[in-house]
Structures are given as structure tokens and as C-alpha cells.
Structure 1
Amino acid sequence: MSSSRRPDPLVQDAATSLDGESVAAVTKLLRTLPCRPRLLGLGEATHGEEALPELRNEIFRHLVEHEGYRSFAIESDCLMGLAVDDYVRAGTGTLDDVMEGGFSHGFGASAANRELVRWMRAYNEGRPAAERLRFFGFDAPLEMTGAASPRQALTALHGYLAAWLDAGLLPCAADALDRLIGGDDRWTNPAAAMDASQSVGRSAEVRELRLLADELVTLLEAFAPHLIASTSREEWWRASTYGRTAAGLLRYHFWMADTSPGRVWRLMALRDAMMAGNLQAIAEHGPALVYAHNRHLQRDKSTWQLADMALEWWSAGAIVSARLGGQYAFLASALGAIPHQALPAPHPETLEGLLYTLPGNRSLIDARRLAAALAEAGTKPVPRTDISANYGYFALDPAHLGENDGIVFIKDVPA
């Protein structure tokens, strides 16, 4: 499929081709920002299409080779991602192993993700530790049908502290944690996703676990100088990941058991807050490219019409942007036509329809420049509404165009 529409001059003036070897255009756009970002978010408008992650790989390689980027973070389980990082940095395990067990949400099946991990490992081969690339998952251990047991995170955190602190400082022994956690299947019961009464989140054991997790995280912070000197900054950082995850999971399970009308909104907000906490920590390893759905990285509020519920919550990107300011940048993505998903060429009056007039198939648009040009011309694109009911494409909101630093646009997505 190709566009026969006449190129819109307003869009052309704000756009640069990303076809061929021209991903360096991303660098040029970043250099127009007030400061160099520690986190560069690259959003995707839908999961499951390989065209965008393939382009993402090209962009990341360019950022590594020309801009000093050393970290990559993806919308995947932060604990599972530790295995991928071990493989990328030290060759621990095999590529097959980490693709199968190092990703959540089915992302390990992506050919583009596999190629990225393979390339990062090859890049690190023979390089000094300080120059090696890092891989991070920054999502919580959550799926649509429920949340993980806190066992892995809590026991790993407790084990780290028990190895390096006097036993009398710890609020409990390991066997007490094991008793309170109980069977993992009661935490991962898929029925709890829809029925709050099926959740264990407000049981007496979980309330006690929340207090214990808080005490363990406090010890990790209070004894940071001793722990870092006794182990390493990296081991302490990993223990902090366990601590954030344990506390976050227990909080999430608590609200899964809520019966109020705000239950679903609260769970959405908690997930993005956990993502934001992980991104704040990953920023220490910046500059990093962060890859996730647009709705998790955008600066404006996320919205979702779920049945009769109009949900709104602040995304991880909005939270991180508020805290990091100019050290966070965001490139949204948009797609034109996806014939194999019954998504036709966008209507000319939509934002995607204006972008669809661009020559070439892949473009980078200066979003703030385009927003200013459209406002000056009195052009107001309408939201895209031609999305089939069974498809997960989320259209760009023209009202928030200027809150993005850029837009990565792919006109026609191949099957």
C-alpha cells in the first residue's frame, strides 16, 4: 500500500525521513532539547507488530555507537529482566534461555527483541565492565490476569540483608516470611483479577507482610554505606529492585482485594507508579533508551474506557517527567495502515492522516514544531476513530501533540 495524497507542507517542514541509514535524525532532534535526557522514552502505539521494534533496534544501535548510550529498558517484568542483564553483560545462560524466561507479556517471542539481546551480548564481548551495555525490565511482575507472589522479591531482599547485617537487626527470620507467604497459587489465582473476594490482599498475613517489607526496605536504606562497602554498588542496587518490587506487589495485592468503585483505577495507577520507581533507578545507569507502550511513557494522563468505566491515571512517563524535568524526553509512535489487522489508511483529517502524506515509509517528526505550525494555521486534526473493536491500536491524541518531543511514524506496516 502507498499513499497518493499530496504531502502536507506543515508536516513536511517538521519531519525527517528515517528510511535507509538516516536514524541519525534522532540525534539531531535530541540536540534541540534544553538538556541531554537521562531517559529517552520511545513509545509504541500497539504491541505485537515487529516493524517498530526493528526500527527501535536501529535507533538504539546508533545511540550506543554515537551518543554514548549504555542502557536499554523495556516494558517487561523487572525481576525476569535480571537474567537478561546477566546474559548481556556476562554471558550467563544462553540466548534461548533468556528469551524464554527473561521476558513477561510474551515479549520473548519477538524476533526483534531476540535480535536486540543478541546484538547487545555481541557488543559487550571483550569490553571492560564499565563500557558494557545493560538491559532492564521496568514493569512490575504483573499480567492482565493477576499479580505474582511476593516470594521471590521478599526472600531475595531478606537473604541479602541477613548475609551482611546482624540477625538482631532484622524484623523476622526467613521461615517467618515463608509461613506468611504460604502457597504461591493463592497469590496468582486468576479469578482475583475480576473478583476482589478471591484476592488474599487484605488477609492478616498480607498486612503483616507489608509491615515486614517496609522494615526490610528501611534497613536497606539505613545501612546503605555498610552494605555497598561490604558487597558492591551493583548488588545493593539489585537488592533495592527486590525491595521496590516486594513493597509494590504487596500494595497491589492489597488493592486487588478492594471492593470500591475505584479498584480498577487504583490498580492501573499502582502499576505505572511501580514502573516509574524502576525508571528512576534505571536513570542512574543513563543515558538509557526506554521502550514501552505510548500510554505508559506519555506526559499526559492515560485514559481507558473499560466497559462503563472511564479510567484516568498518571502514566509512568508523566511521573518521571515531573521528577526529572528536562532529563526525560519522549518520542511517541504512530502507525498509518496495518492491512493485516484491518486498519486502513487513516482519514485525512486525523493527525495520523496528516502524517500519512509524508513521502517514504518511516519518519521522525518534531512534535512541538508541528503543533505550533498547526496552531498558527488554525488546523485542528480530529482523533482517529477507525480502529476495529478487536484491535489494540491506540491513536495519538491531537490535543496533546505538543507534549511529545517527537513522533516516530511508520506509514504502512507490513504483515
Structure 2
Amino acid sequence: MTRHLSFHPCYCLYLLIVVLFSCRADDEVKLDPEVVSLLSSLEQEIVSLDNNPLVWGDDDLTFLDAVADKPIIGLGESTHGTAEFFNAKRRIFRYLVENHDYKVFAFEADFGESLFLEEAVQQGLKSQIRSLMSEKMHFWTWRTREVRNLLEWMSEYNVGKSEEDKVHYMGVDCQFNTYHPQLLNQYLQAADASFLELSGEVLSKVKADSEDRFEGYSSEDFTIYLGQIDALQDSMITHQDALIAATSEKEFELNLRLLRLTRQVSEVRYYRSIEDYSVNYRDKYMAENTAWMLDYFEGDKVVLWAHNAHIANDPNYGSGSIGHYLLQELPNDYSTVGFMFAQGSFTAVGFEGNQSTGLKEHTISEQPQEESLIEVFHNTNSSAFAVRMSDLQKYTEWNDFFNEGTRYLSIGSGFNDQPEDYYRSFHPSLYDQIIYFDNTTASQLF
């Protein structure tokens, strides 16, 4: 015989309360005492933010005012496919433009491709942005709704503005010679340069051999090849007055930089092909291109968009990151904001071993790695926040934590569904500030 038990409603309520408090107590016990101590001081220093950056008001972003005198601010990302990171950088750029006179958004994107988009941004041609992104951009990482919304806002902003008040979109990357030879050749032909035979031969060779990744080249062959680019540069400088007279000083400066890009790309591709990583040419030259913009745009301040690993002040990222090289050249003129997260979705190329499984949305639901910076951040009472590293270093417990060697989550454009493989060593000198989202969503590709 089956006996049916019944309970008084008050007893049921009492039982529920006991269960809830028991669970909460268990959760609290799970936190290491060191984490509890770190949280206590962290909560005093963070600036809490809404998890949706698009609703941030100017009052939410005043924590940036302390570094807004810097000519260059680097904004990072711990994945190349996170909507919140992209939307936050769009909102921050608008704040810096409207309140601190920043004018240039420099991307970890191809220099040549950016010139097509820059022209549309300058002319306020919002309707052309999507097609140009689809046709000209090399990387899926930027062909997203979030970046498109940024570029369309920049286009709208420029309508009716004077030339000196307009904002600019520029690339700093140096991995392809898809457009550089073609654009430079068009300029020299339009200027009726007296050395067109030389330029035609050199630029044709640059495009073909870059695409072939310098297959069959010896080190002597490559030295001769670079000498040919340098000879073309000498010709441009020798005939500088005539070229400027036929075009303009700005066009000359831009196309001289295009020639410099052909050399940068060649070095990046050649040394990668022979697996010589003694110098991090890519970051070294992205830093050079970023610093060049300060001169080209006559002192207009620059916001740099790139991965956390690039914008960080990291001398151990190869021979150095973009941030490390910038701080060597401009020690007082650069500030860094890293972006981090604990859980949620993002877009990345999947991997199983060394085999690509294609571009897709990934999700991290696991708890953060123990004793990591992300574990501490994950246990705050804020879904998103900003914090200065210098503020945390006021506390003994935080200095001890940093000195013991903590880690943080850093994912690029690929992911193998094993989050533990993507935790990297953290030091507070990497970033001046951190913006953290506890849970993220994937960027929207188109």
C-alpha cells in the first residue's frame, strides 16, 4: 500500500528557507579567503557599468578623463568576436571624440583596405560602408554589425563638419600587399612621375612575390628585393617637390607611407615564411604606423583598436607588443585599456587539435580558473565594471596577488573549446585600466 505524505504549508516554507540559506552558506565557503580579501578592496575601487555599453552615458565614462590627455589610447579585447567589447569601444570612441577632441580610430586592420573605408567616412557616405566592408576587408573579425555601426556613426558624424573637425578611420596592420602597390601606382601615374618604369617594375614584383610568400628566396635575394623598394623610396624623395606640385603634400605623405607599408608587409611575410621570429616585425611596424598618424594628422589624438596582446605593454610578446614599442618611442604619450570576461559566447574559428572546424559561435560556461584574476573579477557584485591597476596596487593583498603570478583569459581569433589553454600570465604593468564583462555575447557577422 502506498502512503501519501502531506505537509503543512508553513512547514514547507520553513523547509525552503533552510534549503536556500544552506546553499548560500555552501557557496560562500567555496571562496578562498584570499579571494574574499581581494574582493573587499576591489569593490572599493571599481566603477560599475551596465552590461550593455550602448546605454552608457557620459557620466559613466569619466574614469577615462584621467588619461584623456594622452595622444594615443589603446583599447584591447580578449577575443576578436565579442559584441560587448566592440560596442564598448564604439561608445568610448564617441565619448573621447565629443569630450576630449580625439579624431582618429586606428584599427588592427590592413592599412590599404582602410583607405577605401576612410574615403567613405570622410565624405559621409554611410550607405557605402557595408559593401566596402564586404569587398575590401581581409579579416572576418571586423566584418560585423558592431564595427559597421561604428563606421556608419563616424560617417554621419562627419556630415557638415569642417575638414579639421572630421574623424578618421585608419588601419595599422601590415600582413598583405593586396592594395598597397596598386594604390601607389595609381598615385604615381596621376602625378606623372618621371620614374614610372622603375616604379612599375618594383611594384609588380612586390605584389607578385608577396602573394607567393617569397617562395624560393634566399636571404641574399630578399636583401636585393628590399634594396629595390628602397631605391623607389629614394626616387620619391628626390622628386618630392614635383610630386607635391602635381598632387598635394598630404597625398605625397600618404603614398610614401604606402611604399613603407609594402616593405613592412614584405618583411612580415618573408620572416614568417622562414620561421624567424626573433623580431616581432608585425607589432613593431603596427606601432610605427600608429605613431606616424600623430604626424600625418597634425597632432590629432588617436584611439587604437587591437587585441589585448597587441595593445599591452608587454616586452615578452615576441620582441615586444605594439604597446611596448609605442612606450619606447613615446614614453609619456600612450595609455592602455584591456578588456576581459569570464563566461559567455563569442565568435572564433574552431579547432580540434590542429584541424580547423570553421568559424562559429563558442560558449564558455565553466567557472574561471582558480587563483586567476578572472576568478576574482567573476565574484564581484557587478556584471560589468572598470578599474585602474594603480588603484589596486595601493593594497598589500593585491600586490601580493600580482607578485605570486596570477593569470587571465586571452583568446584570439581561434578557440579549441578548452578555456584552460587560453589563460596567460598577468602583470599589472600590461594595462593601465581594465574593463570587465562577466558574461558576453558573440559579435554579429554579416
TM more than 0.5: yes
- 2:284 is equivalent to residue 273 of structure 1: yes
Paired residues of 2:74 and 2:305 also in contact (CA < 8 A)? yes
CA distance in 2, matches of 1:16, 1:338: 21
Which residue does 2:393 correspond to in 1? Answer: 371
Paired residues of 2:78 and 2:409 also in contact (CA < 8 A)? no
- 2:317 is equivalent to residue 317 of structure 1: no
- Structure number with greater Rg is 2
Aligned-residue offset at 1:41: 0.2
Which residue does 2:12 correspond to in 1? Answer: none
- 2:129 is equivalent to residue 89 of structure 1: no
Paired residues of 1:346 and 1:352 also in contact (CA < 8 A)? yes
Closer/same/farther in 2, CA of residues 26 and 95 from structure 1, 3 Å limit: same
Q: Which amino acid aligns with 1:139?
A: D
Unaligned runs of 5+ in 2: 1-26, 346-361
CA distance in 1, matches of 2:389, 2:46: 9
Let me know the Cα RMSD of the aligned residues.
Answer: 3.3
CA distance in 2, matches of 1:23, 1:374: 33
Which residue does 1:252 correspond to in 2? Answer: 268
CA distance in 1, matches of 2:304, 2:363: 26
Aligned-residue offset at 1:391: 6.0
Aligned sequence identity (%):
20
Paired residues of 1:228 and 1:236 also in contact (CA < 8 A)? yes
Q: 2:248 aligns with which of 232, 239, 242?
A: 232
Paired residues of 2:342 and 2:437 also in contact (CA < 8 A)? yes
CA distance in 2, matches of 1:244, 1:411: 41
Aligned-residue offset at 1:123: 0.7
Q: Deviations over 1:132-177 (max 9, x none)?
A: 110011111x2xxxxx3x474245435545655862xx49534433
Matched length: 379
Paired residues of 1:200 and 1:206 also in contact (CA < 8 A)? no
CA distance in 2, matches of 1:91, 1:224: 31
| Mapping for residues 339-350 of structure 1, pairs under 5 Å | 340-347=362-369, 349-350=371-372
Aligned-residue offset at 1:98: 1.5
Unaligned runs of 5+ in 1: 143-147, 193-197, 304-311
Which residue does 1:308 correspond to in 2? Answer: none
CA distance in 1, matches of 2:215, 2:141: 27
| Mapping for residues 12-411 of structure 1, pairs under 5 Å | 12-19=43-50, 20-22=55-57, 24-31=59-66, 33=67, 36-91=69-124, 94-140=128-174, 142=175, 148=176, 150=177, 152-154=179-181, 156-157=183-184, 160-161=187-188, 164=191, 167=194, 170=195, 172-177=197-202, 180-181=205-206, 184=208, 187-189=210-212, 199-202=215-218, 207-221=223-237, 224=240, 227-228=243-244, 230-258=246-274, 263-266=275-278, 269-284=280-295, 285=297, 286-303=300-317, 312-338=318-344, 340-347=362-369, 349-374=371-396, 378-380=400-402, 382-384=406-408, 389-390=416-417, 394-395=422-423, 397-398=425-426, 400-411=427-438
Q: 1:8 aligns with which of 25, 39, 42?
A: 39
Q: Deviations over 1:23-51 (max 9, x none)?
A: 645443442x5x81111000101111211
Aligned-residue offset at 1:89: 0.5
TM-score, length of structure 1 as denominator length: 0.79
Closer/same/farther in 2, CA of residues 151 and 70 from structure 1, 3 Å limit: closer
Q: Which amino acid aligns with 2:63?
A: K
Paired residues of 2:61 and 2:95 also in contact (CA < 8 A)? no
Which residue does 2:18 correspond to in 1? Answer: none
